[in-house]
Chain A
Amino acid sequence: MAKHKIKVKVQGAEREAEVESRLLLVHFLREVLGLTGTHIGCDTTHCGACTVLLDGQPVKSCTVLAVQADGREVMTVEGLEQDGKLHPIQDGFWQEHGLQCGYCTPGMLMTGYALLERNADPSEAEIRQAISGNLCRCTGYVNIVKAVQHAAAAAKQRRTTAA
């Protein structure tokens, strides 16, 4: 199996590795870099547990090869907290009980984060649409929607205070 040298920026830091052509990005993150926050829940790109950001776009990392991430930027759940401070999306999930078993949560957080990056004030329908590629078996989504709304409101508050 051919090996390739890749350079990937993960949470802003350059990481280098030699990987097999067939290595999936999710396995690269979990097993080569030890970032086990990104989970695996299916083999058909349906569940979204493995969602990470690739150049800012949410992707299902079980359907991206590690070599495709060469020269690009990846952000995982481990990159959300900054300087010991939770990102509003993380806090929103905690405050609104947006998680139970926690397994789909990292993927949900990354999808929610990406949504708020492009739409600071999403409607319920827009939130539901955005997370429709992420399956949750525990929460029934009601509190996940609230969690994203909570994060949007918190971010807005933060902007108002700053201004």
Chain B
Amino acid sequence: MALKTTAEVCGMGHSMKRKEDPRFIRGQGHYVDDIKLPGMVHLDIVRSPYAHAKITAIHTEKALAIPGVLAVITGKTLEQFNLHWMPTLMSDTQMVLPVEKVMYQAQEVAAVIATDRYIAADGVEAVEVEYEPLPVVVDPFKALEPGAPVLRTDKKDKKDNHIFHWEAGDRAGTDRAFAEADVKVKQDIYIPRIHVASIETCGCVADFDRAMGHLTVYMTTQAPHAIRTVFALVAGHVGLSEEKIRIVSPDIGGGFGGKVPVYPGYVIAVAASVVLGKPVKWIEDRMENLQADSFARDYHMTAELAAKRDGTMTALRIKTLADHGYADAAANPSKFPAGLFSICTGSYDLKHAFTEVDAAYTNKPPGGIAYRCSFRVTEAVHAIERITDVLAQELEMDPAELRLKNFIQPEQFPYKSALGWEYDSGDYPAALALAMKTIGYDELRREQAEKRRRGELMGIGISSFTEIVGAGPSKDFDILGIKMFDSAELRIHPTGKVIARFGTKSQGQGHETTYAQIVAEELGIPAAHVQVEEGDTDTAPYGLGTYASRSTPTSGAACAVAARKIREKAKKIAAYLLEASEDDLEWETGKFFVKGAPQKAKTIQEIAFAAYTNHPPGMEAGLEAVDYYDPPNLTFPFGSYICVVDIDRGTGAVKIRRFLAVDDCGNIINPMIVDGQIHGGLTMGMAPALLEEISYDENGNISGGSFMDYLVPTAMETPNWETAKTVTPSPHHPFGAKGVGESATVGAPPAIANAVVDALAHLGVRHIDIPITPEKVWDILKANGVAE
């Protein structure tokens, strides 16, 4: 896209240095744990050592005897106010604090409030809880077997551990296509539990003003407005009314989906502040964060792909069992219990597809939220991109050739997928062709063949993914009934400077810069003079927040539309000032001029001043606009990634030698920020592909519950990512953009897994579940007699 603005104005396409950085590089960011209010006290939480146990007694006397301990709150305390249970975003329920039993290891059991965080921790140590262990259900398949202990005994009519069944597509048509197919492949694919592990954990400061009945909660949340409404709905019966609730989301140290839900700690802190009449701070530590907050993934998938002998794919079938822990606390749009998993037909022109997901309760923490991806899209993409490679192997076809043969072609857009989505735009062959050319695909294949002859293990993996982001159109998308629009409010000051407020909330994505650039593009006001604010529900317009790559598709769009509304009014003012007819005016970035007489012009700054000092008779003063943008469709960013790995035959370690990401996110606001998003996304794609996993033993004891064994990538494992772009603008978005923050997390895991399998394919390896650890690879090498 050609630049329309100067570097001074810094509209779209400029790699503007970020406006938020001056505070962060000085250590002057303002995160929730930096908040210190007068009289503030600290909350810490007693957690269960058992995965499933009856609570027979909680002894609080010793804790309360510690000087500085102010209170101990238990489930029984909250039960008096009917606040011991709360709804999840998926209309299930979860405990705030238990009254009868605990359902997972590290579950909240009681809370200690003290004058200082060290004393609160002392109090936690001093609380004595008596448990009676109950049978533990860890395996979701066993959870659904007849006779399995029923976990949700709180639900009167619940006789099993089944949560929901969801399906999409034409089952019979797909079955027929499979029956007629020349070639069929089938693969079990498990994506384990992982955790977003943002470097800042979750926390809040709840501040209830007893005199005024007003509650302010400073909170690590990606969706402050929705949280305010949830608080009003959940606590309305104890007198909290929405106009008296203010949620402030300060600077957030990474979100990635983990800061969408309401965790028990937030609710307990609010309850404690109401009871004590003091500000209460709760900051979880890393182990609490990993062990108790919402997890992601945990999908047991069986993928099947049918094709003709020539490689033409004809049908896809995927059956999934989802392990949701003890409550369905996913953060999906309400009508989509399995998120947008039905994007699983991917980039391929599949005429027949059917997919079904069943979900089970187990004795694990509730979830599952996203891990830097639009609702369950990573799971879907991993399944289709892995099974595509399995098919290539079966057909002895090059995986690039198989993809090129089956891609939806550019002229087929808008494309209606077999599972019901209307893909807005795409050029898949172009992205893969660029990736292959840039990385030198043919040369790499030659090198691989040569190395294989020498016994060296090198693999090349491709992933040509399609994402589905920007939820979403109100006809289908809501969370607890609230439609998933998002908003922008722009006010132009008399001197032509801007305050811009949004319903979203940046957690590192750079909204203070990119939204300012959208205003600059649309109005010609320098981005440097656009002050962006988000996160305070008292000032920002209502919106559903930032997750699922939705900010640019929704609030970004709202920003452009609001700016265009302002331009409409500005035109009227300009016509008045220039004594010309509106029809005779033309817009050129930053000014209106009379057609054929460019010297007769009024700049947006002059117009803004006039809006307050010399506005046309009969017109309202001021220059501002609000837009609540209801997207007509989702956006479908895509890309082709190629990964090259070398495998150490002595250790089984996988080294990513090269990784090229070709992304297409439509028109780009800030290329520097987009590349940064892709670098980060790739790293969070590599993490579950090679390193990260949370697992449980048969007693429900967690492994991966601290940074000792939950392996977040360091700079040592992370390669020097290479990036390139194609640009296919979204036809329905006001400035042709698509979401981008999560594409790489979605696209990277199968590229890496495909590369490792490719390196071992000659040994008969067809699939390895992620994370592909050195141990797993070494076992394969050993079994095949090629370990050194």
Contacts and interface: CB of A to CB of B under 8 A. Distances in A.
B253 A139 contact: no
A109 B254 CA distance: 18
A78 B708 CA distance: 30
A106 B200 CA distance: 13
Q: Is the interface of B mostly helix, strand, loop or mixed?
A: loop
A53 to B, nearest CB: 13
Nearest to B201: A41
B25 interface: yes
A138 interface: yes
A102 B716 contact: no
A104 B199 contact: yes
A23 to B, nearest CB: 7
Contacts of B676: 97, 100, 138-139, 143
Of the candidates A86, A104, A135, A138, the one having the most CB atoms from chain B within 10 angstroms of its own CB is A138
Nearest to A142: B679
A30 B116 CA distance: 13
A137 B53 CA distance: 35
Given A100-B680, A103-B200, A138 B31 contact: no
Contacts of A25: none
Contact residues on B (Cβ < 8 Å of other chain), bracket: 35 or more
A109 B676 CA distance: 18
A160 interface: no
Contacts of A20: 118
Interface in B1-39: 17-18, 20-29, 31, 33-34, 36
Contact of B27 (A78, A101, A135, A141): A78
A149 interface: no
B27 A37 contact: yes
Nearest to B27: A37
A103 B29 contact: yes
Contacts of B198: 101, 103, 137
A90 B17 CA distance: 13
B199 A41 contact: yes
B708 A93 contact: no
B209 to A, nearest CB: 24
A3 interface: no
Given A101-B252, A106-B27, A137 B680 contact: yes
Contacts of A34: 36
Interface in A91-144: 91, 93-95, 97, 99-106, 109, 124, 127-129, 131-144
Given A37-B26, A101-B508, A102-B253, A137 B684 contact: yes
A61 interface: no
Nearest to A94: B21
A17 to B, nearest CB: 15
Interface string B688-710: 00000000000000000011100
A141 B717 CA distance: 10
Given A47-B286, A100-B509, A103-B31, A141 B25 contact: no
B714 interface: yes
B197 A128 contact: no
Contacts of B118: 20, 22-23
A83 interface: no
B609 interface: no
Contacts of A36: 27, 31, 33-34
Given A95-B17, A135-B199, A141-B718, A102 B251 contact: yes
A77 interface: yes
A103 B254 contact: yes
Contacts of B508: 100-102, 138
A16 to B, nearest CB: 20
Given A101-B199, A138-B254, A140-B682, A43 B286 contact: yes
Contact of A39 (B22, B253, B256, B673): B253
Contact of A44 (B31, B253, B706): B706
Given A138-B680, A142-B679, A90 B254 contact: no
Interface in B21-78: 21-29, 31, 33-34, 36
Contacts of B200: 39, 41, 101, 103
A141 B683 contact: yes
Contacts of B715: 127-129, 131-132, 134, 136, 141, 144-145
A49 interface: yes
12 contacts: A39-B200, A47-B199, A47-B286, A49-B199, A76-B27, A77-B27, A101-B200, A104-B199, A135-B707, A137-B199, A142-B721, A145-B720
Which 9 A/B pairs are nearest by Cβ-Cβ distance? A37-B27, A103-B253, A101-B508, A102-B24, A140-B679, A77-B27, A100-B508, A46-B707, A140-B683
Interface of A: 20, 22-23, 27, 30-31, 34-44, 46-47, 49, 76-78, 80-81, 86, 90-91, 93-95, 97, 99-106, 109, 124, 127-129, 131-145
Given A134-B715, A141-B714, 9 more contacts: A36-B31, A37-B29, A42-B285, A44-B706, A100-B254, A127-B715, A133-B714, A136-B715, A138-B680
